[in-house]
Structure 1
Amino acid sequence: MRRLAAVAILVLATLTACSDDTADKPQPLDDWTQVDVSPAEPVTLTAHDSQLLVGLRHRGAKVVPELMSYDSTGKRTPITVKPNPASPYAFEAIWYSIAYDGQQLLALGGASGGAHSNTRWTVWTGTPQTGLVEQPQNFWTFGGQTAGDLFSAVRTPSGGALLGTWGGVQTGNDAMVWLPQRDGKWVRQDPTKTALQSTPSLLVGPGFGTTLGDSIVLVGSQVRLAPNTVAQEAAVWRSTKFNQGWTRIVLPDPGSRSQANTATCAKDCVISGYVDGQLAIWQLDASGTAKRLQGVPSVPVGDKDKLPPPILDGGKVVQVVAQDNKVKVLTGRDGQWTVQDALGPEGKVTDAVLMPDHKLYLIAGTSLWYTTLS
């Protein structure tokens, strides 16, 4: 009898332990719905209130890029896209960035072309009601021997801006802001003697832009150059108002090598990137004080990996990542995180947004998916 009692206790303890392990392990997100956008492919997501804008491309076909608007019921409405007939690259453009403030649209498109297959940029403005209309630019607006890169279109209460890089006033590349003129032309702004300028001892390298109220926020890295020393550190550049009063903030705990990839700002900014090849997330408050969030799960992130912007969900941060083409959803706050496997979406995750009804939309591979977060 004693032996049977001991066996029973052992079995009960084992079952209890297994039950506790199961209870502690976050359940996978398995209730996903794929949104049919065929024969096109989704490339960008832009959200404002309950309206979701999905930028689409037609791979291998010279078809005008598409833009679709979805309301809270899932009703899809196409937004007219009007290229200029004299602008051949507009008909091949792929959406790189679309900004929407609830009234005005500003979009950045690009298509490879020319002898060196460099990106030929196109800029588009309009409203969901009137459609997106291309604003033709001359070659030197975004091209030429000192051309850098473009990566983000943004809108603030003071107007729209295009963000990128350009050949440095002194050396390397400077961070660059383009602003519109009354005639529809976009003009590079002078970064001389601002935090956007590279120097012989410090190279600036932004790669993504967003807004915080009337401020523009750029994230990327700076490279400090000294005799026998090169240090790459995640950094943020922020204006006090539109294109004025730029400051540079080096993000803390940069390790041996770090980079800020993307950011989302509301009252504060949450920034995602990597430190020493692993996912890192920082928080930057309105005063300019930054901290690196602790306990972030270990996820490899390389130089060429794309991270969708982090999502702010109340007091929590949601970061979607892909590891070995398997999608994972990280949720938490400083020091407390959970990781849930996404059963359905597969491939590299390039964009993600959370709508007011708690539907999480993401682009994985060449497909658009959504689920509802609890």
Structure 2
Amino acid sequence: MRRLAAVAILVLATLTACSDDKPPTPSTVVWTKVDTPAEPVTLTGHGDQLLIGLRHRGAKVVPELLLQDSTGKRTQIAVKPNPVSPYAFEAIWYSIAYDGKQLLALGGAAGGAHSNTRWTVWSGTPQTGLIERPQNFFTFGGETAGDLYSAVITPSGRALLGSWGGVVTGNDAMVWLPKGETWTRQDPTKTALQSTPNLLVGPGFGTTLGESIVIVGSQVRLAPNVVAQEAAVWRSTNLNQGWTRTPLPEPGNRSQANTASCAKDCVISGYVDGQLAIWQLDASGTAKRLHGVPSIPVGDKDKLPPPIRDGDKIVQIVAQDNKVKVLTGQGDHWTVQDSQGPDGQVTDAVLMPDHKLYLIAGTSLWQTTLS
């Protein structure tokens, strides 16, 4: 009997030790709602400063912009529309770029007989305020107008990114550069930004990597009896010079790159065959698809905040059935954590140097601290 009891104790101890070796279940991420005077729509981080772009839904009120410092103190940046530009008074922030000194913002408001987006461009500094710079209608409008999606600032200059009616066919990827206060479309002819009868370019999001502009989206290859949509990235060598296009690897039957964030390299988020996909693009232009990414459905109309670099980890926030999930990857190992607090569509996220992570979900701003 004593021998049997000893064996039983040994077996129990072994089972307990084995159970202790199992990886812990990821804990729920608890978020705290951050009060804002209006609905948050954009987040832009630079160093320990956070820009929060706001809108007043359903009201023709000038959009707002707040600058938050490392202590959490907020300063309202003056937003100054031009009286001759009625759409500036109801603009919604689409993209705000900030390099620590300059501000460049892209706003849009539906208008006209067809409710097309009427674009407004704003520039300035936190000290002088964000001042609207009215443009000729045909700068961003007209029969061949496409879309705009990002404002960017590089050490070599500023740019607005979008699309425009193709030189040959379809739409081309388009870059606008400033000349004084006037923005001018650049000619994409015979560059990687141009669509051809065999390949249509489909950009949708832009950011920067040093002197380079980085654009992500998809390319559609056209061949007899073949139409293939593949995630792709475009990168310049310096502002609008030296563009190259890189199809992203392992594109499946249909793929799209939605957002990106770049520091020493770029991390790109999108989907392959309706499931979340994440790629890395190194400084030399070599891309790889990351493996082990959890199977999270992502469709054409779903939003993905830019992926986040946290040391050697990658953090991607997604909403599945309006439930916010936090995905963390290191190598090929990924964890999925549920969230307590936010729900609804997720649209933007920024990680600050103090490890505070800010998120726009639904119509609210949320904050948590990454461990």
What TM-score range do you get, normalising by the shorter chain? over 0.9
**Structure 1: distance between partners of 2:287 and 2:240:** 22
Match of 2:312 among 299, 311, 315: 315
Counterpart in 1 of 2:341? 344
Q: TM-score, normalization: structure 2?
A: 0.96
- Mapped pair 1:87 → 2:52: no
Give the Å deviation of 1:7: 7.7
Counterpart in 1 of 2:167? 169
- Mapped pair 1:367 → 2:364: yes
- CA offsets, 1:17-57, max 9 Å, x none? 66655x52111112x2211014x100000000000000000
- Mapped pair 1:324 → 2:321: yes
- Mapped pair 1:27 → 2:27: yes
**Structure 2: distance between partners of 1:110 and 1:210:** 19
- Mapped pair 1:292 → 2:279: no
Q: Secondary structure, in 3 states, of the residue corresponding to 1:24?
A: coil
Letter in 2 for 1:293: L
**Structure 1: distance between partners of 2:71 and 2:41:** 22
Counterpart in 2 of 1:71? 69
**Structure 1: distance between partners of 2:352 and 2:131:** 27
Counterpart in 1 of 2:224? 227
Q: Secondary structure, in 3 states, of the residue corresponding to 2:196?
A: coil
Q: TM-score, normalization: structure 1?
A: 0.95
- TM alignment of 1:119-134, pairs within 5 A: 119-134=117-132
Q: Secondary structure, in 3 states, of the residue corresponding to 1:91?
A: helix
**Structure 2: distance between partners of 1:152 and 1:180:** 15
Give the Å deviation of 1:333: 2.7
1:97 touches 1:153 (CA, 8 Å); kept in 2?
A: yes
1:123 touches 1:134 (CA, 8 Å); kept in 2?
A: yes
Letter in 2 for 1:33: T
1:293 touches 1:333 (CA, 8 Å); kept in 2?
A: no
- Mapped pair 1:304 → 2:301: yes
Q: Tell me the percent identity.
A: 78
Q: Secondary structure, in 3 states, of the residue corresponding to 2:168?
A: coil
Match of 1:185 among 179, 182, 185: 182
**Structure 2: distance between partners of 1:340 and 1:253:** 26
Match of 1:214 among 191, 211, 216: 211
- CA offsets, 1:305-353, max 9 Å, x none? 1100011111111111111111111112331111111211111110001
**Structure 2: distance between partners of 1:117 and 1:343:** 37
Give the Å deviation of 1:213: 0.5
Q: Which runs of 4+ in 1 moved over 4 A?
A: 1-21
User: What runs of 5+ residues in structure 1 fail to find an aligned partner?
Assistant: none
User: What runs of 5+ residues in structure 2 fail to find an aligned partner?
Assistant: none
Match of 1:158 among 156, 159, 173: 156
